[in-house]
Amino acid sequence: MKYLISFLILCLTFLSVQAVEVYQGNLTEDIIFKGTPVRITPVKKITTSKKSLKVGSDVKFVTSRDVFENDALVIKRNTPVKGKVLSITPNKLMGLQAKMTMGEFETTDVFGETIPLKGEIKKEGNPHNTLISYLDFLAVFVRGGEVQVVPEEDYFIVFY
């Protein structure tokens, strides 16, 4: 019985310490609701046709809209967003298109705090299926398309 009471006291103490840590979170975490969507767009065209683009390369985006939470501005429009290329699969013959994944995004809020963003952008090039279907005997010689991420497109990623 004595051990049970000691165990319960220890558990209650641990829970109260955890609650205090959550309550004392920084201003950014208190304002930003986890799961808030952020629209981003690339600063310039990102393509797998450039041989300088490799796994680990930095990619630059900007927020395309203001981000609000509870009617408070959290991230301004055109705020820089940094990310990395996580994987690249080059295009090949027989219509196999290139593939690319970008992630590990982060930006800053209106208070200057760094905000990690959750989500990945996965893109595939054109497989040229229509061309291959008409030229079935030449399909071996048709290369798949390159990945193109252009500034006119918006992508959604979310806060952690």
In the predicted model, what is the mean pLDDT of residues 109-118?
A: 91
d(CA 91, CA 97): 5
Question: What value does the mean pLDDT of the chain take?
Answer: 76
Give 62's contacts (C-beta < 8 A, 6+ positions apart): 40, 41, 43, 78, 79, 80, 81
Question: Which pLDDT belongs to residue 113?
Answer: 92
CA proximity to 102, closest of 115, 118, 124, 84 = 84
Measured between alpha carbons, how far is 50 from 147 in angstroms, rounded to an integer? Answer: 10
Least confident of 5-19, 40-54, 87-101, 117-131: 5-19
Residue type, 68: F
Domains and CATH numbers, the chain: 26-159 (2.40.128)
Angle at 104 between CA 98 and CA 110, to 5 degrees: 130
Full-model pTM:
0.69
- For tokens 């969507």, name the residue: 37
Check whether 4 has a pLDDT greater than 90. Answer: no
* pLDDT per residue as tens digits for the range 84-105: 999 998 887 777 788 999 999 9
Q: Kindly report, residue by residue over 24-63, the tens digit of the pLDDT.
A: 333 334 444 567 889 999 999 998 888 888 999 999 999 9
Per-residue pLDDT reduced to its tens digit, 67-78 = 988 888 999 999
